Amino acid sequence: MRTIAIDAMGGENAPKAIVQAVLQAKAELTQTKFILFGDLNKIKNLVGNDTDRVEIVATTQVINDEDEPVKAIRAKKDSSLVVAAQYVKQGKADALLSLSNTGAILACGIFIIGRISGVARPGLMPTLPVKNSDNGFNMIDVGANAKSKPEYILDWAKMASYYAEKVRGIKNPKVALLNNGAESDKGDELHQKAYKLLLDSQLNFIGNIEGNELLDGKADIVATDGFTGNAVLKNIEGTASVLIHLLKNSLLNNGFFVKLGAGLIKGALKKLVSKFDVDKYGGAVLLGVNAPIVKTHGRSGKRAIYYTIKQVDKILSEKIIADFKAEFTHHK
């Protein structure tokens, strides 16, 4: 039996959407147990009689987006997130899922659950959309680290490649390095050295990728330093959201015929918007810590959370953490 610790108080739709998603996933994932952390009465009401394989742990505090991450996990020791992380640390749960403050989730991963020995730094990895397929690509690190070293980037690429193969079912995944040009000598010292490490590795390294090519689907995994990865990830979200906003505005403010046209293309537009809806691709995984820690967007509704629970369960069923431990502890 696998056990997933679920922070039921994070995000805009907590705890309702979270509990509903758990109940839906539970019906399907018959080998999995769920522990919900948060407001006992509220959660109890939402769970109702469906209590099989569901445990509730009452907590009294909540970490907000405004909280300073490291301070918050120290000050709010009875928060749903911190208690859930403690359960994972103590072996009472196998994985952690939260919709809360990204920084606080990272801090729980690094300071409470702890990194895998041999992995220099954990990396945060979302799945992002690509142009011509529904598969998407993984980018790592997108901001768990402000400062990166070439060896970190190699570790992230290794873990991401293994993840893509096992969890996403991509054979021999193509790994690229985000850089400022195609040639092997491009970039600063960090990226030149990372290039060499990736080239000398056993990975299916296809070379550098530039910022304009990310969504083209050339690579299954884009390895990047955490600072650039963070800027680029946020920029994809920002650019897509501004474009969609401008498109909607221009469809509403250009007279009757444009409005009529807009009505006719509504369905096609919705599909497009959903492609750039990060929720669809599941949560971002913190790779390199002693248990799967998955963060999904605070805006996520029941459906997105349900898919993320299935993603966490798949990570557990593939036992990739045990493999990471063997790989990294062994080699270093």
Nearest approach, Cβ of 213 to a copy of itself (angstroms)? 6
Would you count residue 196 as binding a copy of itself (CB under 8 A)?
A: no
Would you count residue 199 as binding a copy of itself (CB under 8 A)?
A: no
Q: Which stretch binds a copy of itself (CB under 8 A): 24-32, 56-64, 154-162, 179-187?
A: 179-187
Would you count residue 58 as binding a copy of itself (CB under 8 A)?
A: no
User: Pick from 230, 290, 300, 308: which binds a copy of itself (CB under 8 A)?
Assistant: 230
Would you count residue 191 as binding a copy of itself (CB under 8 A)?
A: yes
Would you count residue 135 as binding a copy of itself (CB under 8 A)?
A: no
CA distance 54 to 188: 51
Would you count residue 275 as binding a copy of itself (CB under 8 A)?
A: yes
Nearest approach, Cβ of 276 to a copy of itself (angstroms)? 7
User: Looking at beta carbons only, is 111 or 227 nearer to a copy of itself?
Assistant: 227
Q: Are strands 284-287 and 293-295 parallel, antiparallel or unpaired?
A: antiparallel
Give me the residues paired with residue 97 across strands.
Answer: 6, 294
Q: Are strands 174-178 and 204-209 parallel, antiparallel or unpaired?
A: parallel
Would you count residue 263 as binding a copy of itself (CB under 8 A)?
A: yes
CA distance 225 to 203: 18
The candidate with the shortest Cα–Cα distance to 194, out of 157, 235, 239, is: 157
User: Pick from 23, 58, 120, 272: which binds a copy of itself (CB under 8 A)?
Assistant: 272
User: Pick from 171, 268, 322, 331: which binds a copy of itself (CB under 8 A)?
Assistant: 268
User: Pick from 65, 216, 319, 326: which binds a copy of itself (CB under 8 A)?
Assistant: 216
Q: Which stretch binds a copy of itself (CB under 8 A): 20-28, 70-78, 150-158, 237-245?
A: 237-245
User: Pick from 146, 196, 200, 299: which binds a copy of itself (CB under 8 A)?
Assistant: 146
- Answer for the pair 213, 177: CB distance below 8 angstroms, yes or no: no
Give me the residues paired with residue 61 across strands.
Answer: 79
User: Pick from 36, 72, 240, 278: which binds a copy of itself (CB under 8 A)?
Assistant: 240
User: Looking at beta carbons only, is 35 or 233 nearer to a copy of itself?
Assistant: 233
The two most distant CA atoms of the chain are separated, in Å, by 68
User: Looking at beta carbons only, is 224 or 290 nearer to a copy of itself?
Assistant: 224
- Answer for the pair 36, 19: CB distance below 8 angstroms, yes or no: yes
User: Looking at beta carbons only, is 149 or 302 nearer to a copy of itself?
Assistant: 149
